[in-house]
Chains A and B, each alone.
Chain A
Amino acid sequence: MKWLTGLLLSLGFSLAGAWELSGNAAIEGRGFFQDPLDSRQYDNDYSLSLDPEWAHEWDEGRQSFVLHLFGRLDRHDDERSHWDVRELQWIYAGDGWETRLGIGKVYWGVTEAMHLVDIINQTDLVENIDGEQKLGQPMAKLSLERDWGTLDFFLLPYFRERTFPGVEGRPRTQPRIEPDQAFYESSREERHLDFAARWSHYIGEWDIGLSYFRGTGRDPLFVPRLLPGGEVVLAPYYEIIDQASLDLQATLGEWLWKLEVMYRDSSSDRFTAATGGFEYTRVGIFDSEADLGIVGEFMLDERGDEATTPFNHDLFAGLRWTANDAQSLEILFGAIVDWENGSTLINLEASRRLGQDYRLNVQLRSWVNADKNDLQYGFRQDSYLQVELARYF
């Protein structure tokens, strides 16, 4: 029996030694400047999050395994208190090919303000309304790298529903969205097998991607529902869609030119949407070490006021300050303005390192002049300041 214990112990130690842990733990506070529209919502909030990742590599780096978890405990919002398997993946790569099996994350696109063509992963919207936090997506993926570009094929066997703020949550729509009322076009619901393919390449200054997706659309339509208690809520409706898209970037000296275009076909609609613009960066501004970038992007959706995104006829203008100092101070300040109804979202994001292992992140979002016809109208009282301190390990 002793030898078995010894064997298990040594095996445990060797496995434990081979696993590499990294990630962060963070504390976050949010303060809202105005009273909520719905008295059930909170004024201030704080929460704790944990974001650990374990990785293990073998076979001279050809094979690897990743487990990446995320969890948050929120003081007020039960929907924002949640956890997710961001990644649980076995990766096997050879010369010119790669397979991935499990839960993973994929990013497509080039623009800064809006991520139009990025469709593989569902948005974890309760995390941040900027839509950059994503839920883990079950997938089987094959990549082939050739002289004429990279081909990716995806089989996506399980759909993840978008997360939305709960009754107490802010910022949120009025009326609120009730995820329990979600319904699907497909009779297989979240078990519909989705498919995607992508070709991407770079030729000189140009980076190009052409993608196709067929399956359950990640962004739902909303249908009003009357709950038994008499409350009106919005029920997410997930359609089957066909989507073809292009993303393109030209890197010309200090100028980056960007374009994302997509065409979507569903039983309810057919439309085109586009976003694009430029980023111009000046290094060593005012004889300092710092860089100053100017970003300008348009957002256009053929559906106009019927669009499911508020960024349907909008312009983004922003300044990015990168100090290039030891603390990596970075500040992004910008505004998204709807050129038809004037609704404006002002956005400030700043971050810097503290010591060797801490990072401080500050975000300010403010809705100004929100118009009744804009989807952001429900956020008009929800301007907030968020401060997060993260400890990395």
Chain B
Amino acid sequence: MKKLLLVLLVFSAFSAMAETPEEKGLAIAREVDARDTGWGDFRASMSMLLKNRHGEESLRQMRVKGLEVENDGDKSLIVFDQPRDVKGTALLTFSHKVKDDDQWLYLPALKRVKRIASRNKSGPFMGSEFAFEDLASQEVEKYTYKFIRDDELDGKPVFVMERYPVSKYSGYTRQLAWIDRERYIPLKIEFYDRKNALLKVLVFRGYQQYLDKYWRADEMFMDNKQTGKSTLLTWKDYQFRTGLKDSDFTRNSLKRIR
């Protein structure tokens, strides 16, 4: 009996060591997701400073609301304030774990709510260097994973892992992510295009903790290595658990937005 126990112990230790890079990558992604569960709802304002190769700048300002949905992707509502010609335009997204997100665009001049094709996720968001898929709800099921190595980034211990988009409509073959080992949050992501060439680098800066649990970056800087363009995304006025409900995320609610 003792022998059998010993064998079992050795075997289980061996199997732990034999965790494949794919399994380890998935485990890290699940832990990232688990630590970011339970925030309920939030409101924030977001600005984007677009810069082209010649240094010319262009500003976008938005208000964002989000609602956590159990057993499915989150709901989000983005309302544009700047540039002024798109003021009042709003984007409602019901994201899903596996199937395509549902997405509606509200055009205030016509008072028209338009269902749009959410598969067009590789397209740029408001002319910025962020694609729709970069800003979408990051569900575990949307990628497969592979652990690469333990490393350090700016003196912080990190996991380096790769993730591969499941959707064939994604603009990327793979993403290389640096995940903070203590807090399980992304510090940097490299995006590789369909030809597997480095396209963009995203750096997260100024992480702050909300509700003593949830980490949010104040700044996300996306640098396009192929075009020389960049976008600095800044988050402000984060508020959590503000009492938002499903009825704040309906097609009808889009028409009330100011």
Given contacts A22-B87, A291-B120, contact A326 B256 (CB under 8 A): no
The CA-CA distance from A66 to B111 in the complex, in Å, is: 14
Those of A340-369 within 8 Å (CB) of chain B: 353, 356-357, 359
Considering only CB atoms, which chain B residue lies closest to A51 in the complex? B109
In contact, A254 and B247 (Cβ under 8 angstroms): no
Given contacts A107-B111, A132-B110, A253-B119, contact A143 B127 (CB under 8 A): no
Contact with B along A379-393 (1 / 0, CB 8 A): 000000000001011
In contact, A93 and B119 (Cβ under 8 angstroms): no
Chain B residues with Cβ under 8 A from A393's Cβ? 84
Chain B residues with Cβ under 8 A from A326's Cβ? 50, 52, 56, 58, 127
Those of B232-258 within 8 Å (CB) of chain A: 245, 247, 250-253, 256, 258
The CA-CA distance from A118 to B119 in the complex, in Å, is: 28
Given contacts A57-B258, A202-B251, contact A284 B111 (CB under 8 A): no
In contact, A95 and B123 (Cβ under 8 angstroms): no
The CA-CA distance from A123 to B247 in the complex, in Å, is: 32
Chain B residues with Cβ under 8 A from A327's Cβ? 58, 127
In contact, B250 and A145 (Cβ under 8 angstroms): yes
B45 in contact (CB, < 8 A):
no
In contact, B117 and A251 (Cβ under 8 angstroms): yes
A64 in contact (CB, < 8 A):
yes
Chain B residues with Cβ under 8 A from A325's Cβ? 127
A256 in contact (CB, < 8 A):
yes
B40 in contact (CB, < 8 A):
no
A328 in contact (CB, < 8 A):
yes
Considering only CB atoms, which chain A residue lies closest to B128 in the complex? A326
In contact, B85 and A24 (Cβ under 8 angstroms): yes
Q: How many residues of A contact B (CB 8 A)?
A: 47
Those of B63-105 within 8 Å (CB) of chain A: 82-88, 100, 102
Considering only CB atoms, which chain B residue lies closest to A120 in the complex? B111
- Among A22, A251, A353, A357, the most chain B Cβ lie within 10 Å of the Cβ of A251
In contact, A143 and B117 (Cβ under 8 angstroms): no
Is chain A's interface secondary structure helix, strand, loop, or mixed overall?
A: strand
Chain A residues with Cβ under 8 A from B117's Cβ? 251, 253-256, 281
In contact, B123 and A283 (Cβ under 8 angstroms): yes
Considering only CB atoms, which chain B residue lies closest to A328 in the complex? B127
Those of A27-61 within 8 Å (CB) of chain B: 55, 57
Chain A residues with Cβ under 8 A from B258's Cβ? 20, 55, 57, 64, 66
Considering only CB atoms, which chain A residue lies closest to B58 in the complex? A326
In contact, A291 and B123 (Cβ under 8 angstroms): yes
In contact, B85 and A359 (Cβ under 8 angstroms): yes
In contact, A143 and B84 (Cβ under 8 angstroms): no
The CA-CA distance from A20 to B50 in the complex, in Å, is: 26
- CB proximity of B73 to chain A, nearest CB, Å: 15
Residue numbers of B with Cβ under 8 A of A are: 50, 52, 56, 58-59, 82-88, 100, 102, 110-120, 122-124, 126-127, 169, 171, 245, 247, 250-253, 256, 258
Instruction: Give me the 10 closest cross-chain CB pairs, A-B, nearest first.
Output: A392-B84, A326-B58, A107-B112, A326-B127, A283-B123, A107-B111, A324-B124, A283-B120, A55-B258, A359-B85
Q: A22-B87, A105-B111, A289-B123 are in contact. List 13 more A-B contacts (CB 8 A).
A: A98-B252, A150-B251, A150-B252, A200-B251, A202-B251, A253-B119, A254-B120, A281-B120, A291-B120, A326-B50, A327-B127, A356-B58, A356-B83
